[in-house]
Structure 1
Amino acid sequence: MKARKVKDLMKVLKKKGFELNPEKDHHNFYYLMVDGKKSSIYTYFSHGKTEYATSLMQMIKRQLCFQNTKTAEDFFDCPLTKEKYIEILKEQGDLN
């Protein structure tokens, strides 16, 4: 996965149904909200980072339950909608 700016990642997550949970230590936790309820799908960002390199993007890809890089890139580049993402998670059994 390509490197991305943290502020851009946070913006996409909010657009796709993720909400920032209260800060925990040195991280910002974003949970996927489905039908007004917090799901088990989440990722987090360190306060000190402004850009996430390939290795950290791979970690986010796993946390968000993407099985392939192309789908994850589509999620962050915005062709993949929130509805389609939730559908994929349900098909994979990652979301009830």
Structure 2
Amino acid sequence: MIIPIKKLVERLELELKKEVAKLSKKNKLKVVVFLVGDSDEQRSFVRIKHQTAKRLGILFELIQYKTAPSFEPFLRKIKEMSQHPEVTGII
């Protein structure tokens, strides 16, 4: 049995676009991604998230740390972004 994954993904994205459009009537959706490090795998993961957000009409912001930040400043930045009125999701 062959599963038509591409068609399923297209259908799912279409449904998600409709949901995003409906939710965006109040406020534009925005996701913030925190990236610690700079490996090829990490950049690939973030690139896929960015492309998906763009296709769905979701704003995207990357906050990158090349090396591990100190815990307290990092926690403050996460809290700051989570309380920001424009941010609707954090990865």
Fold match (TM-score > 0.5): no
Could you state the TM-score of these two structures normalised by the residue count of structure 2? 0.28
Q: Which has the larger radius of gyration?
A: 2
* Larger strand proportion of the pair: 1
* Larger helix proportion of the pair: 2
Q: Which has the higher contact order (CA 8 A, sep 6+)?
A: 2
Could you state the TM-score of these two structures normalised by the residue count of structure 1? 0.27
